[in-house]
Structure 1
Amino acid sequence: EAVRARAMLRELDALATHRYVSPYERALIHLALGEHEPAVARLWEARERHDGWLPYARVDPRLRPFLLTPEVAAVLQPR
């Protein structure tokens, strides 16, 4: 599964060079792989780009284990 997830990330990263790919969705893949730092970087990117999925982060069960970490909490603070 991890090999497939990393391949998917590479594919999405390549696609993102010429079209919009949700940074929030890419963050979720990083989190599933246990890659906290890249996930937080993608969440910040989602915030900067006004990703439509970011407002749902507080109720997204895939993000629940990470909501209380200081890095993720900082991303989700109101502007």
Structure 2
Amino acid sequence: MDQTFTQNMLVKYLYQETSAAETLAVSEALQENVLLREEYLDLRKAYDQLPKVKFNAKPSTLQNILQYSKRSTALQGQD
């Protein structure tokens, strides 16, 4: 079966957001299709140039989320 891969699928693959079946299919296609591999390598090059940033939530924000989750779970148990 000849499958066409979109740029969106390559981006999903790049960010490791593909299913196991998709990952296998893209990997095989990258080995077999020179044009697809070139497009992927261009995307990879651009990805590697993006700044690497990390975001950390304030401890109070995390605490509020956990408390909300606890309340929400307790309310669901009352149904």
* TM-score, scaled relative to structure 2: 0.31
Normalised by the size of structure 1, how large is the TM-score?
Answer: 0.31
**Higher CA-based Rg:** 2
Greater RCO (Cα-Cα under 8 Å, separation 6 or more): 1
